Structure 1
Amino acid sequence: MEINSFEDFNLNRQLLNAVADLGYGQPTPIQQQAIPPVLAGQDVLGIAQTGTGKTAAYLLPLLMKIKYAQGVLPRAIILAPTRELVMQIDAAIAELGKYTDVRHLAIYGGIGPKTQIEALQKGVDILVSTPGRFTDLYLKGVIGVKQLNTMVLDEADKMMDMGFMPQIRKILEVIPVKRQNLLFSATFPPKVEELSYEFLEFPTRVEVTPQASTAEMVSQKLYEVPNFRTKINLLAHLLADENATNRVIVFTRSKESADNIYKFLARKVVADDRIRVLHANKGQNTRINSMEAFKEGNIRVLVTTDVTARGIDVNEVSHVINFDVPLIYEDYVHRIGRTGRANRTGEAVTFMTMAEEYHVAKIEKIIRMEIPREPIPEGIEITETPFDERQDMLREIDNQRRKEDPTFKGAFHEKKHQPAPRGKATAGGKSARRPKSSTPARPGKPKAGPARNRRK
């Protein structure tokens, strides 16, 4: 049966009215393929990028199944890796379930649990949570699980990257065995495949795009840059045209880098009230307020780590700039998926140093395409790489080569001048001899060995 509208699904009028209010037209491919088996009670494995409508693909049939408020204990649990994604899912439940009396609650860390515990005690039908907060409150005895009959894991690949596998296994041990399971992931690496075998029973697999494909509406480009300072200069140049780059997310690898970039841009390029920095060290209220301001268009530039790479639904992001290449390669897909959403075009720009070329090659293998290279625009100051920064990059390249070839000895170390062998003629024509020490050796004292257990 061909599905051309939400009316073709077996959904009640309350849900169809909410869908109409949201202006949804034709169901997206993931919704067309996932909603019928979920409605039929089957376990589903869904592989789809963020921005494809996958949240509604599992929420609409879940709300159809829950239908109305009942009892005190939750009947469905949705686990997501970050508090931002938990809040977004909870907001989507509020929108899609606006004509029902279904009770839903988002619980996450970063704030005290008192308010969340009080809300649980009043009664909840759908619980949305991070694995850590669910485990904490379950161990406190405030989450009853006897009525749970549906479990959803959203962004499963990110949960594996963040090390949630042990907590998820513990949760699976305590909730009822008889339940419907739904697992959604943007990519399907081995860890997620392993989890799917443990979690799903004879699942229907729904894959609407090739694994780890990049959004079709996103144009990609890459600049080869020599160092951090040149990256800063190029970033300032790209952000100088406010009309062209009207809503931008700049992704960095570390919190320190994010803070430094933010300070530079706020001082030199972007008005202080039009830029925010977001990372794990920021308080919960700051993170919420920054994201809301960005969604509303009050903030033009958001500098962030990968804490916001997934699940943040902002439709009009014009540019994503990868100031640093991500080390978790699938995160490239999720970063650039912040733009080109809801049938809008977007642009993803990546800066690459010589030490990041290795990681870009791995990303290109995953996305099955070469990211187009662009020449650095004229007028950009290309600074000389400081000695320490260059040495760090050479060491990193050595480590990369060693990872590919364990027998590799290290080109970085080969660059050092080795003493000529004893008795061989040197460039000056003299025989190379070991210089005599001015301090006589102390008999019986062992030679110093290599330092052990020293952090690299």
Structure 2
Amino acid sequence: MEITSFEQFELNRQLLNAVADLGYTEPTPIQQKTIPLSLGNHDVLGIAQTGTGKTAAYLLPLLMKVKYAQGNSPRALILAPTRELVMQINEAVGELGKYTDLRHLALYGGLGPKTQIETLRKGVDLLVTTPGRFMDLYRLGEIVTKDIRTMVLDEADKMMDMGFMPQIRSILEVIPTKRQNLLFSATFGGRVERLSAEFLEAPVKVEVTPQASTADMVNQVIYEVPNFRTKINLLDYLISKDTFQRVIIFARSKSNAENIYKFLARKVVETAQIRVIHANKGQNTRINAMDAFKEGNVQVLVATDVAARGIDVAQVSHVINFDLPLIYEDYVHRIGRTGRANHTGEAITFLTMAEEYHVQKIEKIIRMTIPRQPLPPQVEVAETPFDEQQEMLRSVDEQRRKEDPTFLGAFHEKKAKNLPGGKDRLKIKAKLPGTKKTSSQASGGRSGGASRKTGSAKGASTGSSKRPSSRGGHR
């Protein structure tokens, strides 16, 4: 039977009223398949991206089972990998359970446990928690597990990536074996398969989209750039456009995220309209930044992959991959921040020659070739610093060695003074790939024929061995 309304599920009136208040009318595919199975006490293995409605898919039947406040010990447990996701799930519990008297609590690190312990002692029906904080409070004797009858593991693949397997195994040892289990993941690799085999009993697999597929509503594009400085110049150009209304910029490292933030705050975006979040930021700072971004008070959010999964922000117009993720599935989760709830979105990736290897792996996972566009003529192509060029060449050799263990390496590190041209760094840069000057620079700033060609960026990105012309390389 085709399910076209939440009224067709065996949910009580309190939950249906809350669903109506949220404006949900027709269940998503994951909800259509998961809710009846969960209500029927089946173990469920759900393969679904964020943005498909999977949180409500497991919360609605879970709240239906727990129903009302009872006793002091939790009867349901939801595990999630990050503080941000825990807070979001707990918020969804509050929205869907607002007409019930259910007591729920979010547990996560980054702040002292005193308040969390006080709330636990008053009695809780449902816990949403990171694995580490759960075990910390369990060892303190503050969590009683004997009444837990349902366990949900959300973003299981991210759990594996973040090394939570030991904590998950410890949790499985201390909660009752007689329980219902639900596991949700965006991908179904070997580690997730082994985890599901460990704690799911005869699960029903629900897969609503192909594994690691990218959102249909997201337009993806790649710009090939020779170096970090050109990435910054391209970012400067893009952010200044009116269409970039609510943007998430993903960086690979905390230092890159900070550098991007400082540049944008200084030159492009008013400080009040930009925030940065990463693991070194305090918990309150991260919460406030995310809340401001959700409310539309912040135009640009710079983040490491701590924000890549599970963060549901409406109408994000653009996602920019300043750096490619080294966990390739995270590309799917990053670009899934846009193109949500039937809105279209743009996902833009900056690509250096050292990242070409990674984008090929990503394209294999998503089963498509991401279109490439030339750099806009307004973007200045900066010369590649010697140290950065050396590091990229070293990375390319390491990547080739992964594919061919017999590869001895083409890169030989040289000191700048030993390269042709001695200590003249401009001569060195003229001989390195990806450092071709703009026409205007070559002509000393003359306006005639000064438009910059983008071929140097392309040559650097694809690792071409063809040297750019040294015409105007040093004047």
1:379 matched residue in structure 2:
378
- Rounded to whole Å, the distance in 1 between the matches of 2:131 and 2:354 is 35
Note closer, same or farther for the CA distance 1:274–1:414 as it changes in structure 2 (3 Å cut): closer
Query: Secondary structure of the residue that 1:99 maps to in structure 2?
Result: coil
Alignment of 1:57-456 (within 5 A): 57-241=57-241, 243-413=242-412
TM-score w.r.t. the length of structure 1 is: 0.90
Deviation of the 1:25 alpha carbon: 1.1
Match of 1:443 in 2: none
User: Counterpart in 2 of 1:425?
Assistant: none
CA–CA distance in 2 between the matches of 1:355 and 1:189? 26
> CA shift at 1:203, angstroms?
0.2
What amino acid does structure 2 have at the position aligned with 1:272? T
Structure 2 counterpart SS, 1:412: coil
After superposition, the C-alpha distances for 1:395-452 in whole angstroms (9 at most, x for unaligned) are 1111111111111111113999xxxxxxxxxxxxxxxxxxxxxxxxxxxxxxxxxxxx
Aligned partners of 1:306, 1:189: CA distance in 2, in Å? 19
1:47-71 per-position Cα deviation (integer Å, ceiling 9, x unaligned): 0000000000000000000000000
2: CA distance, partners of 1:189 / 1:162: 15
Question: Are 2:15 and 1:15 aligned?
Answer: yes
Give the percent of matched residue pairs that are identical in Structure 1 and Structure 2. Answer: 77
Counterparts of 2:378 and 2:59, CA distance in 1: 50
Give the aligned residue type for 2:105.
Answer: L
What residue number does 1:435 align with? none
The Cα shift of 1:384 comes to 1.3
> 2:238 is aligned with what amino acid?
L
Partner secondary structure for residue 74 of structure 1: coil
Q: Residue 137 of structure 1 aligns to which amino acid in structure 2?
A: L
- 8 Å contact 2:46–2:183 — kept in the other structure? yes
Q: Separation in 2 of the partners of 1:276 and 1:207? A: 35
**Whole-angstrom CA distance in 2 between matches of 1:177 and 1:263:** 50
Cα distance in 2 between the residues matched to 1:17 and 1:265: 44
Q: 1:114 to 1:415 in 2, by over 3 A?
A: closer
Residue 122 of structure 1 aligns with an amino acid whose one-letter code is K
In 2: Cα distance, 1:375 partner to 1:45 partner: 42
Q: Shift of the alpha carbon at 1:189?
A: 1.2
Cα deviation code 1:159-201 (max 9, x no counterpart): 0000000110111011100000000001111110110000100
Quick one: which amino acid aligns to residue 73 of structure 1? S
For residues 104 and 351 of structure 1, what CA distance do their matches in structure 2 show? Answer: 42
Determine helix, strand or coil for the equivalent of 1:182: strand
Q: Measure the CA separation in 1 of the matches of 2:414 and 2:35.
A: 60
**Structure 1 equivalent of residue 433 of structure 2:** none
CA offset digits 1:257-299 (Å, max 9, x no partner): 0001111111110011100111010100000000000000000
Matches of 1:161 and 1:88, distance apart in 2: 20
* Contact 2:390 2:413 survives alignment (8 Å): no
Structure 2 Cα separation of the partners of residues 405 and 314 of structure 1: 42
User: Residues 93 and 414 from structure 1, CA distance in 2 versus in 1: closer, same or farther, beyond 3 angstroms?
Assistant: closer
The one-letter code of the counterpart of 2:151 is M
Q: Tell me the distance in 2 between the aligned counterparts of 1:43 and 1:316.
A: 34
State the 1:379 CA deviation.
1.5
- Distance in 2 separating the partners of 1:415 and 1:371: 35
Distance 1:81 1:74 in 2: 20
Matches within 5 A, 1:18-33: 18-33=18-33
Conserved in 1, the CA contact under 8 Å of 2:71 and 2:123?
yes
- Spell out, residue by residue over 1:58-107, the C-alpha distance to the aligned partner (whole angstroms, 9 max, x if none): 00000000000000000000000000000000000000001111110000
Residue identity matched to 2:62:
L
Whole-angstrom CA distance in 2 between matches of 1:405 and 1:152 = 41
RMSD of aligned residue pairs (Cα, Å): 1.0
1:132 maps to amino acid: G
Shift of 1:312: 0.7
Amino acid across the alignment from 2:220: Q
Instruction: Name the TM-score, length of structure 2 as normaliser.
Output: 0.87
Aligned residues: 415
Structure-1 separation of matches of 2:62 and 2:232:
46
Give the Å deviation of 1:328.
0.3
- The one-letter amino acid paired with 2:301 is L
The equivalent of 2:438 in structure 1 is none
Q: Deviations over 1:345-395 (max 9, x none)?
A: 100000000000000000000000000001100121001111110110011
The residue type paired with residue 292 of structure 1 is D
CA apart distance, 1:322 = 0.1
Asked whether the 8 Å contact 2:47–2:206 carries over to 1, the reply is yes
Q: Distance in 2 between matches of 1:101 and 1:413?
A: 68
Post-superposition Cα deviations, 1:321-354, rounded to whole Å, max 9, x if no partner, equal: 0000000000000000000011111000000000
Q: Secondary structure at the match of 1:413?
A: coil
